């Protein structure tokens, strides 16, 4: 039974059936505090907004345990089509820069090995997760099963009065420096700092565990 309780599939079931969270407590298992859990914060740079027609050109990720960065993953990705000029202007990633880097199949395979069964954290997670799901399906005919937490959604929940909930706006609110933006690993670092601040605000609302996030509709 314990092995089932530790499985991410059980956590997904908890989202649909909140009584399962209480089952943990009935079995003497206290939910792990959010700040002690392990996560992978990740960010993608892409050639556009549509996952079915656009490509991933950079993947950045940091593995977090007990609120500390334990491992880093970062790679450029060689796309099938040239990087559009406006994307190069936004990201600073040129066609010359990605030459010699792995294609999406190898890059995505390495990324999946890095994340394992960890919960994913991203800003505007729907966007990044949709690209991972699409390309996983295309390249490997498999599904992404990792639960995800969106710092954009959390910020809207916790800081409803902000003028907007863009990453740099939230970072500015928390007085977090944003020296490198629109590069995957740089945005991961900012998201990590924002995540730590949001954890403190979640505590004030007595949202202390993954089960609490599930019950508040804050984990996918």
- Residues with a known catalytic role: 182
Distance between CA 5 and CA 149 in Å, rounded?
A: 20
Greatest alpha-carbon pair distance for the chain in Å reads: 58
Distance between CA 128 and CA 123 in Å, rounded?
A: 8
Kindly give, in sequence order, each residue whose CB lies less than 8 Å from that of residue 195, ignoring residues fewer than 6 positions away: 39, 41, 64, 121, 151
Q: How far is CA 186 from the centre of its chain?
A: 14
Residue with structure tokens 């990705």?
77
Q: Strand pairing of 148-150 and 119-122?
A: parallel
- CA distances for 37 relative to 33, 41, 43, 44, 89, angstroms: 7, 12, 19, 23, 37
């Amino acid at each position: 039974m314990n092995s089932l309780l530790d499985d991410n599939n059980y956590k997904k079931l908890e989202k649909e059936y909140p009584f399962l969270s209480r089952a943990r407590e009935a079995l003497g298992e206290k939910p792990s505090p959010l700040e002690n859990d392990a996560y992978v914060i990740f960010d993608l740079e892409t050639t556009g907004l549509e996952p079915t027609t656009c490509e991933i050109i950079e993947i950045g990720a940091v593995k977090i345990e007990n609120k500390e960065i334990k491992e880093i993953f970062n790679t450029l990705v060689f796309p099938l089509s040239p990087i559009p000029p406006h994307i190069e202007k936004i990201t600073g990633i040129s066609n010359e820069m990605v030459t010699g880097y792995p294609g999406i199949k190898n890059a995505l395979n390495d990324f999946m090995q890095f994340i394992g069964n960890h919960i994913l954290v991203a800003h505007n997670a729907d966007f990044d997760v949709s690209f991972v799901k699409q390309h996983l399906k295309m390249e490997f005919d498999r599904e992404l099963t990792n639960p995800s937490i969106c710092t954009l959604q959390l910020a809207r929940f916790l800081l409803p009065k902000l003028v907007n909930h863009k990453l740099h706006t939230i970072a500015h609110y928390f007085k977090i420096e944003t020296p490198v933006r629109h590069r995957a690993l740089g945005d991961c670092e900012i998201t990590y700092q924002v995540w730590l601040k949001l954890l403190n605000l979640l505590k004030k609302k007595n949202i202390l565990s993954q089960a609490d996030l599930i019950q508040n509709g804050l984990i996918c």
